[in-house]
Chains A and B, each alone.
Chain A
Amino acid sequence: MVDLDYLKMSKPQKFIHNLGKFFMSLPGRIGGGFVKLGRSIGGFFKGIALAIADLFTTFKNGDWKTRLSYLVMGSGSMARGQWGRGLLFFLFQTVFNLYMVNFGMAYLSKLGTLGTVATEKVGRKTVYGDNSFLILLYGVLTLFFVLAFIYTWYMNIKQNRIAQQIEASGRKLKSTKEDLQSLADSQFHKTLLALPTLGVFVFTILPIFFMILVAFTNFDYNHQPPAKLFTWVGFENFKTLLSSGSASYGDTFRQVLFWTLVWAFFATFLNYFLGMFVAIMINKKGIKLKKVWRTILVMTIAIPQFVSLLYVSKMFAADGLINTYLMKWHWISQPIPFWTDPGWARFTIILINIWIGIPYLMLIATGILMNIPADLYESARIDGANAMQMYGKITLPYMLFVTGPYLLTSFTGNINNFRPHGFADHLAVPHDRFRHQLQDRRRHRHHGVRGAGCDQPGGLQPDTVREE
């Protein structure tokens, strides 16, 4: 098709044409993605093969210092006078060895079975056997540590090879002092990123990895460590989750997923447009006391949510302020089940979320609205555009352009948002649940899914299924 033909088309035709083009190109794009993925995986293995080959050649060509470092990390560097590096390598190896002997080995060796010795009761005493949970957790931790060790070991040898080359060419090696100085200069990123990376590794990557692995075990209400063991079950859980039928969770899962998406949609876009609307109202020329309106709304952001959310949800309770006043005025004869009826509860949650969310969007939108050049509106007005047109052609595109990434992140964030549901969940059931909370969480997946028919008082409970 020539460009001219495209230009001749009417709007719907253009749309259909573009849509068709998009779907036509889809297979190619997906295929391209797979090719890329395959290439990077291939590259990864190639890199490993190269590294192994490298190890052999280095050993063959290396002097005694280099060869010694294969066994005792850092010894080569120390023998060459690079004490700082050498000591660090040596220290790392010592720590690793101590860790493996005293702690890691025991867990790593049981990782395949997740423990075989069950906890038993001998007379009155409980004899603790293996704890599958800890075996899995520390097994994974040890696995990560081993990988880190292998990498460091390889680095140690590489260091030696380079040092040997430098020595052979007659140049001088870096002294410890120069090493330290380079950490503030050419290697500054290492200084800055060392701690944050370690933190992310141990406290984000490790737990996520662990939880992914848990999805392949039968860890549930009936297999609670330390009393019971659990073990690997492959894809069993996914099957149960996705298949339909009375014995499975498929329908429930779909229901929960549907509500999650509905919730995320409302929570994101309703807030977005209402917030923008409020910001436009406040920023309109001729409106006075702009600061006062803004400050009143912003207070909701500033006040800790556990205070405001708890108080507001109490207001909606059966004996809360709203119900009592509505009854006092004889508008209703019995309390509206804001929390106890699933339909109402969803409505209430979205309502409260709007109450929480509008101020954030209002603030953001205010900042952006002020950045829109005023002459755009000026010229639009001269051309005879009305308020709606100016909104549709100037304000909205600008806002969407600037807040696009924000919208996306807040949509995914709302899919994972737990807070409003969390409070509602706990308020819905009259209880003393706090004490049991931890156990509760552990069995939440089970619990949540079981109650997900939305037919019980804690109608919102199923949503917490997402948190696992």
Chain B
Amino acid sequence: MTNNANVAAGQQKLRSKKGHERRVNGTIYTVLTVMSIVWLIPFVFLVLQSFRSYKLEKGGMVDYLLPKHFSLDNYAFLFEGSNFFSWLGKALIVALVAAAVAAALIHVCAKLLDRGEDSRGRRIALIGGSLLVGFVALVAMTMAMQGFTLAGSWKNLVISLLLYALAGWIMARVYLKQDSKLLRTIPGYMVEDRHQGIKKFCAMFAEFGALALIIQCILAPMTMSQYVRWYGNTLTIALFTAVIQTAIVLSVSYSLSRLRFKGRKLIMNVVLILGLFPGFLTMITLYFLLKQLGLTQAGAVPGLILIYCASSGMGYYISKGFFDTIPKSLDESARIDGATRFQVFLKIIMPLAKPIVIYTILMAFMAPWGDYVFASYVAFGHQDGYNVAVGLYNWVNTNDFQNYFTRFCAGGVLVAVPITALFLALQKYYVEGVTGGAVKG
């Protein structure tokens, strides 16, 4: 009897516990739903406003949420006076063909190198020759499609040739080389590891395509509207900053984590103290330093890149924490095998540090993408040197504010979409970086 009563009581308890659980979960769902609405509302409004018809409802702030007429007016305004879309269409065609040509050339190179004897001279001649062919083909196509005339553009031609040679050389080396033996990779995508081979081939294709796009920007620039120019500035700054800053941060954190030398502790202490000073303290001084170098106003883009990168070595903590976790025995065994420290860094540590490299690139890219304060200083008063943040901020704060609010929304949407997609795709690395760095302190 008592036994049964106990069981019944237990079941009762369990049931009430379940009920309790359900109530708790219900509360949590409610809270989360409310939060989601609060967090999403501004963005939903932003997008809605950006689609409001400019012709019928003007561009100011209004007291209703849903636009009465939807249209793309505001977006059209952003591109007004720019041949962006026709330029992009042509450029993409050229880039596709150029990438295909490059891939074919590398393929032929690989076959020829595989067949004949492997000498340095032959390698250089073959790769160099095919790069030259590829470049000539690219320029010819650009001229044909974008109506580019050579007169007065020798400087640009030389710059893009150097760019193509450098980037192409690196890419060719990467795709043609495996260990000391020349290539097995490209034929490999047909035979050995099909999946890997195709992946590699796609990567090469994309990289050559991107290279072709950049070179077209130099050789046959599009006519730009204000907004497109700002966007271009932002993109340029963010890309360069991401690359340079990552290189700097990684080299600083590697040497502070792995190498032992006189003054290492001193450097770390000095950086710690310097970090206590607010960044704004130095702003005016930086402006005058840049001015002396001619990197303000018209030179705002390189100036900003310089500013973002110059002191970035101070943010080494997180990646140093990561490097500290890689076992030292790896380095030591490589050193015993005769590798120099440079080789250890490049060939052993870097491949293992992929998460932190991605984290660093992500951070280095996002910071200048949204930066307003420094950008507004350096570009001060020179419209062509603005980045999107400064430009759009300027729009909402002009006297003509009522006309520009929805345009600001449209511009904001176009800026936010790519970076949001990138961040959401890579957020795993963000969490890893932040918590990893925090755990190791």
B377 close to chain A: CB less than 8 A: yes
| Distance (whole angstroms) from the CB of B365 to the closest CB of chain A | 11
Q: Are A419 and B373 in contact (CB under 8 A)?
A: yes
Given A324-B63, A468-B280, A204 contacting B45 (CB threshold 8 A): no
Chain B residues near A193 (CB, 8 Å)?
A: 251-252, 255, 267, 313
Interface presence of B21 (CB below 8 A): yes
Stretch with Cβ within 8 A of B (4 or more), from A53-61, A170-178, A308-316: A308-316
Residue of B281, B409, B441 near A404 (CB, 8 A) is B441
Q: B276 and A302: CB pair below 8 A?
A: no
* Given A402-B435, A438-B377, also A133-B288 (CB < 8 A): yes
> Cβ of A95 < 8 Å from any Cβ of B?
no
A278 within 8 A of B: yes
Question: Nearest residue in B to A141 (C-beta to C-beta)?
Answer: B289
Q: A354-389: which residues lie under 8 A (CB-CB) from chain B?
A: 355, 359, 363-364, 366-368, 371
Nearest B residue to A298 via CB reads B427
State A302–B417 Cα separation when bound (angstroms).
Answer: 9
- Whether a CB of chain B sits under 8 angstroms from the CB of A258 is no
In the complex, chain A residues whose CB is within 8 Å of the CB of B412: 304, 307, 310-311
Interface residues of B in 389-441 (CB under 8 A from A): 389, 392-394, 396-399, 405, 408-409, 412, 415-416, 419-420, 422-424, 427, 430-432, 434-435, 438-439, 441
Query: Which of A207, A311, A355 is in CB contact (< 8 Å) with B282?
Result: A207
**Cβ of B423 and Cβ of A298 under 8 Å apart?**
yes
Q: Is the CB of B435 within 8 A of A441?
A: no
B42/A204 in contact, CB under 8 A: no
- In the assembled complex, A186 has its CB within 8 A of some CB on chain B: yes
Are A203 and B431 also in contact (CB < 8 A) when A302-B419, A310-B393 are?
A: no
0 or 1 for each of B337-377: is its CB under 8 Å from A? (1 = yes) = 00011110100000000000000000000100110110011
Q: Which of A286, A363, A371 is in CB contact (< 8 Å) with B21?
A: A286
Interface of B is mostly: helix
Given A296-B40, A311-B46, A195 contacting B28 (CB threshold 8 A): no
Asked if residues A363 and B255 are in contact (CB atoms below 8 Å), the reply is no
Contact of A321 with B45 in the complex, beta carbons under 8 Å: yes
Q: Is the CB of B43 within 8 A of A303?
A: yes
Task: Say whether A6 faces chain B, with CB atoms less than 8 Å apart.
Answer: no
Which of B29-37, B152-160, B215-223 is the interface stretch? B29-37
B residues less than 8 Å from A308 (CB atoms): 42-43
A326 to chain B, nearest CB (A): 11
Instruction: Say yes or no: is B65 at the interface (Cβ < 8 Å to chain A).
Output: yes
| CB–CB A199/B289 < 8 A | no
Chain B residues with CB under 8 Å of A321's CB are: 45, 61, 63, 65
When chains A and B are docked, how far (Å) is the Cα of A422 from the Cα of B31? 31
Once the chains bind, are A281 and B280 in contact (CB under 8 Å)? no
A405 contact set on B, CB distance < 8 A: 438, 441
Q: Is the CB of A189 within 8 A of B42?
A: no
CB neighbours (8 Å) of A299 from chain B are 39-40, 43, 420, 424
Interface presence of B336 (CB below 8 A): no
CB distance from B88 to the nearest CB of A (A): 23
Q: Are B279 and A416 in contact (CB under 8 A)?
A: yes
- Interface of A (DSSP majority class): helix
Q: Which segment, of B90-98, B135-143, B303-311, faces chain A?
A: B303-311
**Assembled-state Cα–Cα distance A181/B341 (Å):** 11
Q: Which one of A181, A188, A192, A286 contacts B25 once the chains associate, using CB atoms below 8 Å?
A: A286
**Does residue A30 face the partner (Cβ distance < 8 Å to B)?**
no
Q: Assess whether A207 is in contact with B285, with CB atoms less than 8 Å apart.
A: yes
Confirm or deny: B148 has a beta carbon within 8 angstroms of a beta carbon on chain A.
Answer: no
Indicate whether A184 reaches chain B with its CB closer than 8 angstroms: yes
Chain A CB within 8 A of B380 CB: yes
Nearest-CB distance from A143 to chain B (Å)?
14
Q: Which residue of chain A is the closest to B396 with respect to CB atoms?
A: A310
Interface stretch, picked from A67-75, A240-248, A428-436, is A428-436
B5 within 8 A of A: no
Does A211 reach chain B (CB closer than 8 Å)?
yes
- Say yes or no for B203: interface residue by CB 8 A criterion: no
Q: Are A282 and B32 in contact (CB under 8 A)?
A: yes
A140 (CB) vs chain B CBs: closest residue: B285
The listed residue with most B CB atoms (<10 A of its CB), out of A205, A207, A320, A328, is A207
Question: Can you show 15 pairs from A to B with CB atoms below 8 A apart?
Answer: A188-B341, A188-B342, A191-B342, A193-B251, A196-B248, A196-B313, A200-B311, A204-B282, A207-B285, A211-B285, A284-B25, A307-B412, A405-B438, A418-B280, A438-B381
Q: Which 8 A/B pairs are nearest by Cβ-Cβ distance?
A: A304-B370, A196-B313, A207-B282, A416-B278, A302-B423, A207-B285, A467-B280, A199-B310
Excluding A203-B282, A366-B431, A467-B281, 9 further A-B contacts by CB distance (< 8 Å) are A192-B251, A204-B282, A297-B36, A298-B427, A304-B370, A306-B370, A363-B427, A405-B438, A441-B284
